[in-house]
Amino acid sequence: MRCLFITLGAVLLSLQVSQANEAGLSVVFSGDEIRVIRAYYHDHAITKDHKGKRGKKGKKPQGLPPGIAKNLQRGKPLPPGIAKQYLPQELHDVLPAPPFGYERVVVDGKVLLVEIATRVIHDILTDVVLH
């Protein structure tokens, strides 16, 4: 019975999201969300000491492999198995809830707005999370 409700919920969620997409509605970060997210990460990058870890020959650790990094684009699904993090709780608490059927995640220093049902990226904030 529980499985039926979960399946039904997923179907309804995907129908609502696809109907919004078909109606031409664009789901993106609002200007206020962008300001709040950038301010949060700017403030917290200054107060935290990340010790500037470096790899061999003084190079900074690399992010995602180039093939995966180039797939982090609007309209493309998140690659399977990619390491994603959720926004810090303190930041999550001050932001308005994302649109129904979407979530905000952090991948490789970028904040993404992702459609839950399809894993498609709808918006990206680059260079926000300072390492």
- CATH fold of 27-50+62-125 reads Nuclear Transport Factor 2; Chain: A, (3.10.450)
Rounded to whole angstroms, how far apart are CA atoms 84 and 112?
10
The structure tokens listed for 24 are 């031409």
14-54 confidence digits (pLDDT tens): 444 444 444 346 899 999 999 999 999 988 875 444 444 44
* Widest CA span in the chain: 58
Per-residue pLDDT averaged across 114-119, rounded? 95
* Percent of all residues in the chain with a pLDDT value above 70, rounded to a whole number: 66
Sorted by where each begins, the domain ranges of the chain are: 27-50+62-125
First to last CA, the chain: 45
5 compared with 31, residue with greater pLDDT:
31
Give the helix ranges, DSSP H, for 2-123.
2-22, 31-47, 66-69, 89-94
CA dihedral 105, 79, 99, 41 (to 10 degrees): 20
pLDDT band of residue 130 (cuts 50, 70, 90) is low
Q: Is 48 helix (H, G, I), strand (E, B) or coil?
A: coil
Q: With beta carbons less than 8 A apart as the criterion, state whether 117 and 17 touch.
A: yes
Q: What is the pTM of this model?
A: 0.69
Give residue 13's pLDDT. Answer: 41
Give residue 46's pLDDT. Answer: 53
**Confidence check: pLDDT of 61 > 80:** no
